[in-house]
Structure 1
């Protein structure tokens, strides 16, 4: 039985079970409308007024503020990934990605989901994720900057909507609706940590609403959160082998130092997982009704600081011969500071300041025309520092180096103004026709700032060099859009929604896209709905303009701006827009008064998709092939990978760490159009609230099956590497199932969830190289890979809460209750270790060189179980 058949069967059986349970009980009285999330009036996915979520022609999932607060960590990314089957949040990153964790819908890029607040476009992140992976290329909005206490509900449109809302809405829309209370206040304290006593987290948040005059409101939230470090692995293969012996490549003079480190576990618990961070946010929502019109405004100010542990540098990494001013690795008395005794663990620190303000007017004319005019300005700026480090070349040359470096930074600015007009007209159909039209103007800029002199001397500080003058740049663009939308109700139960949108970008031209959505209710218990649409996505300015050097202890990868000289030398070019085609078909079934089930199938095709090229690595100069020794690394554009990489580095004007150049691996990567992908999926959701003699039980089930395949990469030929294609197809689980049960009885409540993730795989390069034949995947220019797997697994969450008084609640709980972590690399189970070379680097370590490190690409992260307590005070 195939995976899709198993998943479909599971959904059918689960839905039948829920339906049977519902019908076997006495039908409870209909609950008040506000108690049923499907009866909430939505504003996402339609411009019709007063439409309930359960009646939507497009799949909409609603999350109430109560559901969001029952997640242990006060983080909207975390909440959504536990509650929405098609939503996958990034659990951890590498380098700068640690500070811009993002999320995605339906297995495609985070950039394919539009994020809005109160129906207005949210600005993107200034920090771009460049590391090749499932979230590579993301510069999507950080929804973590919206405190959960400020959220009234979240509406998730799980359908392509670029024709309705513009660029980025290829996979769907997340619309965060802020609270608009006129009274009341709450304070919430949250504390927790992971199973191994790492990553302690503390937060405090406050929310209050108040009346403004006779017809206004002001709702404000203040939020503070601190997260501690987590670490991964038990030590460094560069110091000690898996069997406990010292690496034989260490010089005699340094061997006692390495032995001391190995004996006391000196290289354990130093490799960063989650960075330490500190977040402060102030956010407000304001409105005042002047009868003729309403004035509204909302916005936030935030400051986030982060400190991430970087790759360990061995004791002899920063040493010198003072007589010849050259690197000296055999005399520990001439090493920088205490690095000869302990080695070096640099840090990357980020200081990110962000704000966004929206203001607008809306109203209705005497003739029934509704109108809304708004403007939003947002700015996101990040400064990057390397601390606790040293510039090895500067120390070798002069005997001096600073330990802290300003590496530079980024800034993203966005201004958006919109006009929306609509009216209901009687045209003799079952219901009035809705017509809507409007326009949008958007102006954006993105800037990269260069680092200080110390960060730019040769390779800069160990772990993260500064942004060079060739990296520093500023790009901008503007976009104009106009749309029209008509919603018809030809007969009772039939909805037809047609939308079209024209957009014109200053940097690559214009596009025209459209969408047709329809739904027919055959009865109160059964409806069919479907959508067909075209869409597009403009490249983010960060994707187009970012360049940097990413450095590991023994590697360096240049991220090249697509239109730069370095990228051009390797055959790449400037980015253009993506184009998409989306079709979906679904059903809504109500077999019992309070039970609603939906099942939607979808197909999404993206042409000219923007992706990372993957890292093109030049490990060494390929030997001249002979009949006896064939070339293991085929030519790319007539060059060996080694030559291609060296040419691109030279064209970029970059200078790299001499140690890495001499003994490590060099690579380049960039963002590029040129591949086409197809995504197929099924989405199921059901919810059934049950009244019990001693309380109530709210049952929910959600499931998503999703596969993506690369259908064409011929435009790039060998420039799109196998690892990049594999990431797109296999870095996300094919299926995810959410089961939830909320039991409430008097002052007590228990909330249990199970998220079942399908397996994920990734091509992983072992920590060792040889031309010896191995039973692994060979890839031109990269070396040997094996397919690492994080198996399918359930993750359980549990929260118990008690209202001691009307104004005080205490809750305790766990996310990942059973402390499940991804698998640790162990090739013995799959391959014969006798075929691996007997060198000092072990094939049982993945490419980070960390002993016993779990795979980091699993959908639930490496931190394990998180256990917490929460105190809520209501006034």
Structure 2
């Protein structure tokens, strides 16, 4: 594309901030910028700015750049892990249960994954259909799955660490991560790597690469692909249940894999994934037609809790270890046309993306189906999740000479977005009676489809009144078909006192509509002695409890920073920030219809425990029981336990339905607007380059982050439910455990010091990572000296060392060996004397499982060191 000297298309396009695109400026040509320039914040940025040619250190908002080379100097062939190891403000979920095991999420500045907007080439990336129904900071996350972006397709990544909802639309409360793809029309790379954990498991290989082509004059086509595989790991403890049964008439239990470590759930799943992507364009005159997209498939399996021989003795006389299996397809395509008409730039683009997750259970059985019919499948299709997003944008930019130091840059645009989410029911055998063991199937009661439309407009003005002062203001209006209208603002400014010292700051408001998955997910499980799961907030059952449709989150953000360039090749940025989110969406506390041997008030049956109408709250128990009964097809408003018509009698009663003793529990949750939360912190970035002459060049980088989350208030229960005045914690909307997770599962301090040394054909990358203490609370098990008490379970502060050594054995070939977590550091073990010893001792019978040695919320995982080798070919 050709550009005019007076007002270049890229300069104007850099100011085009649409709902899903940060800018239209041409990305840096591959190879033009040196590694030192990138690590010294010298790369040209297109995110968070409307000024062509701006460097990261010159930005009015804090932004960090990661080159593809820097991202590649880690052992894990996954962009999420590479980002987290290099940038302290990013934290990755290290372990997920059930479906979340296959789609670990990341968060920016300790906030929800849903608060970070993910872009590819400035265009909004669609979210995953695999919503997390866990509690804590990752609960409710349905953010894009970055593992479907091929690392070799990336030129560099721009991380805007600033509230930007007014610039880019919702989901940008914490910031924006923009993956800029290569536009090369020649050459390419091939990377082959293999590795594994030092102690056990995690065998990994990846074959990936890209190639640049010029189909015809003025056109470019860059194709990238990756095939990667990662095997199981295991970091759990012995399974005392298996030992018990092996010694009491079931010797076949010893044949279960790993005996006596038969419960393999604590560890990585097995993931086999293939992704292909392209980035293409054709430039003619002042115009460009462009397109990019990807197609990926993920096949993943994770162990679930091992079942005892008594669960389905006819099918599995020695017990069995069920596995959860997902078959996921993810694809996206973008097409656009941009260019220059007169002195006005335009960019029209359309993006469609979809994610389909098919859920299965293998090596399992349905105990009730087997008991009733003498037959049960061993393989179940539990249901499907589907999510799609279609985004259309039009952006216009024009510069006006108003007699100030630089022209007034005016950007305006429109966006229309259509989103869908749905759940498809599984095989009837997967939800019959108690359902498939380890993962109850999604029934027709859970199935449903949801959709909404969003239309937004924005206006952005950027000007320099004087050469040293930049002022940028943005306003955005959005209309949701299901949430109505909102208007958000942002004001950004920077003043350069000298070439060496500048100050910058921002103030903004934000808005995030609930994802369709948060509003529509349903998973109600019925089993022997148990009914539980998640109700959609707007379902009849949730409404009967006083809940209803979710409200949007609203936020207010402030930041202030300093930029220093005290010497050549030395750049220092220091930015403080505060973001307050009101009505943050998360999973609620569990509400019980009844629990164990507690009985209705006034009951005289033997075996019933005393029932305090206030502290244990019989009113809420009856309300929950009635709502769940109605959700299962029952009728009427319950005033007594015995009136339930749809809840199975074996759940309500111990024997023939006459004794009135309650055996089992009804327990439900729903997504709610739970808390008001404040996040405060400071980001530090220092870059320096040392020229050692004959000893080579060293690029030094220090990234630091202080981040403190504070729950400032918990929203009250709906009026239909009763809040205890004696023991309010028993009836809180969000329980104490979740509050501690929100506040203390993200390290307060994180730092990464990196030295990259090059000497001729040899290079070495040394990275030191620091994580301050995190913790959660856990209730001590029965038998423990502090049984029933809440115990602090910490992961103490830790230093981790990463090292990679590389050598160019020929012009196109480089070999590398390295280690992430070189010294095989593990997180602090959970207390043996207070927790694990007594959990292990419980395994005499029944559904008792092995304990986890390590807290699964460890910010750097539970697997120890990972060692790898790579072969790289450049042509």
2:10 aligns with none
User: Residues 378 and 852 of structure 1: is their aligned pair in 2 closer, same or farther, counting only changes over 3 Å?
Assistant: closer
1:804 aligns with 809
Match of 2:630 among 648, 651, 657: 651
After superposition, the C-alpha distances for 1:464-507 in whole angstroms (9 at most, x for unaligned) are 11111111000100000000000010112110000000000000
After superposition, the C-alpha distances for 1:698-718 in whole angstroms (9 at most, x for unaligned) are 111111111111112143362
Matched, 1:336 2:286: no
1:325 aligns with none
Paired with 1:593 and 1:235, the residues of 2 have a C-alpha distance of 58
User: Residues 133 and 769 of structure 1: is their aligned pair in 2 closer, same or farther, counting only changes over 3 Å?
Assistant: farther
Match of 2:238 among 228, 235, 239: 235
TM-score (norm. length: structure 1): 0.86
1:458–1:657 CA contact under 8 A, matched in 2: no
Paired with 2:52 and 2:422, the residues of 1 have a C-alpha distance of 41
Paired with 1:448 and 1:674, the residues of 2 have a C-alpha distance of 24
Once the two structures are overlaid, the 10-residue window that deviates more, 67-76 or 419-428, is 419-428
1:147 aligns with 150
Matched, 1:56 2:64: no
Matched, 1:788 2:788: no
2:457–2:477 CA contact under 8 A, matched in 1: yes
Residues 462-481 of structure 1 aligned to structure 2 (within 5 Å):
462-481=437-456
SS of residue paired to 2:370 = helix
SS of residue paired to 1:566 = helix
After superposition, the C-alpha distances for 1:286-338 in whole angstroms (9 at most, x for unaligned) are 111111311011000111111111011111111xxxxxxxxxxxxxxxx233x
1:298 aligns with 292
Matched, 1:397 2:400: no
User: Residues 759 and 647 of structure 1: is their aligned pair in 2 closer, same or farther, counting only changes over 3 Å?
Assistant: farther
After superposition, the C-alpha distances for 1:804-838 in whole angstroms (9 at most, x for unaligned) are 0111011011111122222232253799x9xx8x9
Matched, 1:351 2:327: yes
After superposition, the C-alpha distances for 1:115-147 in whole angstroms (9 at most, x for unaligned) are 000001000001111122321110000111111
Aligned length: 800
2:585–2:675 CA contact under 8 A, matched in 1: yes
Match of 1:277 among 262, 271, 286: 271
Unaligned segments of structure 1, at least 5 residues: 1-29, 241-245, 319-334, 777-782
Unaligned segments of structure 2, at least 5 residues: 1-32, 603-608, 634-645, 655-662, 718-722, 724-731
Q: CA deviation at 1:611?
A: 1.0
Paired with 1:184 and 1:656, the residues of 2 have a C-alpha distance of 65
2:148–2:296 CA contact under 8 A, matched in 1: yes
Q: CA deviation at 1:234?
A: 2.5
User: Residues 382 and 31 of structure 1: is their aligned pair in 2 closer, same or farther, counting only changes over 3 Å?
Assistant: closer
Q: CA deviation at 1:112?
A: 0.2
SS of residue paired to 1:723 = helix
Residues 753-764 of structure 1 aligned to structure 2 (within 5 Å):
753-764=767-778
1:302–1:354 CA contact under 8 A, matched in 2: yes
2:636 aligns with none
1:91 aligns with 94
1:622–1:642 CA contact under 8 A, matched in 2: no
Q: CA deviation at 1:785?
A: 3.3
After superposition, the C-alpha distances for 1:660-698 in whole angstroms (9 at most, x for unaligned) are 988766532211114211111111111111111211111
1:312–1:346 CA contact under 8 A, matched in 2: yes
1:117 aligns with 120
1:701 aligns with 702
Paired with 1:848 and 1:725, the residues of 2 have a C-alpha distance of 27
SS of residue paired to 2:41 = helix
Paired with 1:800 and 1:275, the residues of 2 have a C-alpha distance of 29
TM-score (norm. length: structure 2): 0.86
Paired with 2:647 and 2:120, the residues of 1 have a C-alpha distance of 43
1:151–1:177 CA contact under 8 A, matched in 2: yes
Matched, 1:824 2:829: yes
1:126–1:382 CA contact under 8 A, matched in 2: yes
1:89–1:104 CA contact under 8 A, matched in 2: yes
User: Residues 789 and 117 of structure 1: is their aligned pair in 2 closer, same or farther, counting only changes over 3 Å?
Assistant: same
2:759 aligns with 745
2:575–2:684 CA contact under 8 A, matched in 1: yes
After superposition, the C-alpha distances for 1:226-271 in whole angstroms (9 at most, x for unaligned) are 111112313224344xxxxx4xxx7x99445498579983344633
After superposition, the C-alpha distances for 1:697-742 in whole angstroms (9 at most, x for unaligned) are 1111111111111112143362222222222112211121111111
1:19 aligns with none
After superposition, the C-alpha distances for 1:615-644 in whole angstroms (9 at most, x for unaligned) are 345542546899xx98789557x5366545
2:189 aligns with 186
Once the two structures are overlaid, the 10-residue window that deviates more, 45-54 or 87-96, is 45-54
1:497–1:516 CA contact under 8 A, matched in 2: yes
1:767–1:842 CA contact under 8 A, matched in 2: no
User: Residues 751 and 263 of structure 1: is their aligned pair in 2 closer, same or farther, counting only changes over 3 Å?
Assistant: closer
Matched, 1:597 2:591: no
Paired with 1:679 and 1:97, the residues of 2 have a C-alpha distance of 25
Paired with 1:841 and 1:471, the residues of 2 have a C-alpha distance of 35
2:498 aligns with 523
Paired with 1:813 and 1:657, the residues of 2 have a C-alpha distance of 57
Paired with 1:33 and 1:265, the residues of 2 have a C-alpha distance of 52
User: Residues 657 and 70 of structure 1: is their aligned pair in 2 closer, same or farther, counting only changes over 3 Å?
Assistant: farther
2:874 aligns with 874
Matched, 1:317 2:296: no
1:79 aligns with 82
SS of residue paired to 2:574 = strand
Match of 1:500 among 447, 461, 475: 475
2:3 aligns with none
SS of residue paired to 1:265 = coil
Residues 257-656 of structure 1 aligned to structure 2 (within 5 Å):
257=251, 265-268=259-262, 270-318=264-312, 335-337=313-315, 339-341=316-318, 343-366=319-342, 368-549=343-524, 557-616=532-591, 619-622=595-598, 635=615, 638-639=617-618, 643=622, 645-653=624-632
The CA RMSD over aligned residues, in Å, is 2.9
Paired with 1:732 and 1:372, the residues of 2 have a C-alpha distance of 39
Paired with 1:735 and 1:616, the residues of 2 have a C-alpha distance of 35
Paired with 1:592 and 1:551, the residues of 2 have a C-alpha distance of 67
1:739–1:754 CA contact under 8 A, matched in 2: yes
1:37–1:63 CA contact under 8 A, matched in 2: no
Paired with 1:556 and 1:702, the residues of 2 have a C-alpha distance of 48
Paired with 1:502 and 1:695, the residues of 2 have a C-alpha distance of 53
1:464–1:551 CA contact under 8 A, matched in 2: no
